[in-house]
Amino acid sequence: MAGSKLKWGKMTVEIAPVTAGVIGVYAPVYTPVQGSFTLTVEEGNKLEAFIEGGERIDVRKDANKYSFEFQVHIGEGLTKPIADVDGIIAGEYAIRVTPENSTLEGFLMERAAVSVTESFTSEEGHRASYTFEALKPATGAMLKPYVAQILVVTPTQLAFSSAADNAGQTITATSTGNLTYAGKSDDAEWLTVTRSGKVATVKVVANTNSESRIAYVTLTADGKSATVPVTQAGA
């Protein structure tokens, strides 16, 4: 079997759980390790029929196999994007990948089995390595082309002082329909997100630590998504 690898520069990776064949809400992977993204295409088995004299009269080829791998940093405030038990991840996931230039074509796996391994070294720190192995979807190919659908929002980032903000700051979507989703990175217990119409409101509790902190808010409308970084200053 032959193998080939494709790599882009800085990429955006989004994952979503798949339940009974239905893809859930995509969420971005927040802390990927630079340069760790690799799509591997493994050529399917090829069967050939020959006659006496060596002439080939027929060829049959199995489907290619696709796997996508990346690593994430793990540390204080940096959690795994998918929970596991000893490396075993239950259920299936969809994954879509957008190149650094979001107008260019990336790829989409609508069904994938996922596994994870962990490593820790003094040089690289604590990392988790995820592998998505493509499964046959209900329709179409296992690996589909994908062009990002970016939701236009204002502003594109939020900054808070160390004090609690119970009034909050707002993010407004430029969309036909209202927001269908407004969520945050799971480890960001210090902020809350609510939505009303095309507006999301972000509120924060006081930061009593000396260091600043960052989280990410994801908004979805019209089938498009945007990720907004939210920072809060240290005390």
Alpha carbon of residue 157 to chain centroid:
19
Concatenating the DSSP letter of every residue in 55-81 gives -EEEEEEPPPEEEEEEEEEEBTTB--S
Structure tokens, 185: 């990175």
Model pLDDT, residue 215:
87
Which positions ≥6 away from 221 have C-beta within 8 Å? 151, 173, 175, 176, 177, 178, 179, 180, 198
Model pLDDT, residue 78 = 67
Amino acid, res. 66: Y
Residue ranges of domains in the chain, CATH in brackets = 3-146 (2.40.30), 152-232 (2.60.40.10)
Alpha carbons 141 and 151: distance in angstroms, whole number: 26
Q: Cα–Cα distance between 81 and 76 in angstroms, integer?
A: 14
139: exposed, middle or buried (Cβ count in 10 Å: 0-12, 13-18, 19+): exposed
Structure tokens that stand for 118 in this block: 């962990």
Q: What local confidence, expressed as pLDDT, does residue 133 receive?
A: 96
Asked if 131 contacts 114 with a C-beta cutoff of 8 angstroms, the reply is yes
> What are the Cα distances from residue 235, in Å, to 39, 83, 171, 188, 206?
43, 32, 25, 17, 8
Smallest Cα–Cα separation from 39: which of 8, 80, 62? 8
Q: Give the residues across from 167 on adjacent strands.
A: none
- Residue 144 confidence (pLDDT): 92
Q: d(Cα 199, Cα 15) in Å, to the nearest integer? A: 24
Tens digit of each residue's pLDDT, the chain (235 residues)? 345 555 556 788 889 999 988 888 888 887 778 888 889 999 888 888 888 888 888 888 888 999 999 998 887 666 788 989 988 999 999 999 988 777 788 899 999 999 999 999 888 888 999 999 999 998 889 999 988 777 889 999 999 999 999 999 999 999 999 999 998 876 788 999 999 999 999 999 999 999 899 888 989 998 888 888 899 999 8
